A and B are shown apart, each in its own frame.
Chain A
């Protein structure tokens, strides 16, 4: 039972990363524009995040080094600090977007005023993080996020073309004109980026240390990372399929969270709609917690302050003040009325641009025999790590030009 519950770290990490506000709408848009043609981006993204999540979990367990300590060691102080600032700005923007998304979902569930819900839900999330231990946070958000399965069930019930879906596993670059080719590239990079958002590895490696994993838990590390990511990937495929099944034939380009949620319950009735809303709420709230806590982990790990959700709040003051500060600042951004999806567009693309600075140090340390001993990367791990790092760098280079050329993916 304990091992099964242990999977919730992977589930919460992956759902908060894969199925957050941005990915929910972004993937449905990709399906609405290109049908199943971008399936391959989901599969490659999943493989990449499994490889790197496993590596950073292994480093945390063996070297007792969380990601940002590794970043500081490998990149040096100046570049490490720049990466820290950039990563935390992205965490902040993403957290603000998720808080805005929570208010939207609660408004759709209750009809109450959105601004009141925004403030109330942020206070409630802060209270949950303050009161509960790490394992209860990951269990509650991880398990409640499983309600998102209703999206995958809806997609299956709507009878996708399985042959076409399988053909989507192979990249095809045969769009009719330059505009569509650029859009195709933008969505491919965006899906890949959203699956590798930095806060996933920050949160996962910190979680492994919060849970006091030891080298005996390394087999579990692989299982937790793989299970969570495959589940997240399965739901992402469901979202892509819903875009292809519900929106593409109707010429709808979904630009609202409420539109995508509707697709998640399309073949069913009101109960499924409520389930879809609750599942979305759990995943978005999980992402908000993940980004706020990641911000605090990053700062404390970089500057070597004490940290840990399982420690008394007063005994780790910088850590506690930072995650509270993340929530407060994110709330301030969200209250200004900037649309959450606008924030998400920014975080996905700029997350891609700084991604190499997070993933390169992980690969380097996991391949360092002095630090990792017998748990050092195998040749196979290194090859996979290098291949995915090259893809990450390539995507990082083209992310911003594609965003500009496509006006953030507008058809």
Chain B
């Protein structure tokens, strides 16, 4: 049982692969769309004054960590032939999303800045959606 548990930890924990297959890229893009959509929903929630300051700052931090992990997963592997461009584009967009999230704590009280950030994140999400449909 201990061996099985250790194997499970490795199985669940190992996120770096040598080659990023098309299926894995699709899964990474699905996850990226989810993260971007979540960021948009969250900004709307904050803009409506529904989140406490501590919650907003904490949740942005967790979201940014999640995006950072997705970035690392893609950095750690080499793309399957024929998907290099899509992987590179996905990395770039994830980096943009990460930067948008990093800037949010400074503009939490500014509705205009939040609105602008939401628009930019929507553009990032659109890019992810175009990428996934191109696969």
Closest to B9 in A: A346
Any B CB within 8 A of the CB of A265: yes
CB-defined contacts of A111 to chain B, threshold 8 Å: 53-54, 57-58
Cβ contact of A250, chosen from B1, B8, B41, cutoff 8 A: B41
Which secondary structure dominates where chain A touches chain B? helix
A392-411: which residues lie under 8 A (CB-CB) from chain B?
400, 403-404, 407-408, 410-411
A134-171: which residues lie under 8 A (CB-CB) from chain B?
none
CB-defined contacts of A86 to chain B, threshold 8 Å: 1
- From B42-50, B80-88, B92-100, B113-121, the one touching the partner chain is B42-50
A411 in contact with B52 given A86-B1, A258-B58, A262-B42 (CB within 8 Å): no
Closest to A254 in B: B38
Give how many A residues have a beta carbon under 8 Å from the other chain's beta carbons.
Answer: 45
A408 in contact with B30 given A108-B54, A252-B38 (CB within 8 Å): no
A94 to chain B, nearest CB (A): 12
Any B CB within 8 A of the CB of A266: yes
Cβ contact of B37, chosen from A252, A258, A265, A268, cutoff 8 A: A252
Any B CB within 8 A of the CB of A290: no
B9/A270 in contact, CB under 8 A: no
A274/B52 in contact, CB under 8 A: yes
Any B CB within 8 A of the CB of A378: no
A346/B5 in contact, CB under 8 A: yes
B66/A256 in contact, CB under 8 A: yes
Any B CB within 8 A of the CB of A310: no
A-B contact sample (6 more), CB < 8 A, given A252-B34, A255-B31, A258-B59: A251-B33, A253-B34, A273-B55, A346-B12, A350-B5, A411-B31
In the A-B complex, the 7 residue pairs with the closest CB atoms: A111-B54, A86-B1, A258-B59, A108-B58, A253-B34, A346-B8, A108-B55
Binding site for B on A (CB under 8 A): 82, 85-86, 89, 93, 104, 107-111, 246, 250-256, 258-259, 262, 265-266, 268-270, 273-274, 277, 338, 342, 345-346, 349-350, 353-354, 400, 403-404, 407-408, 410-411
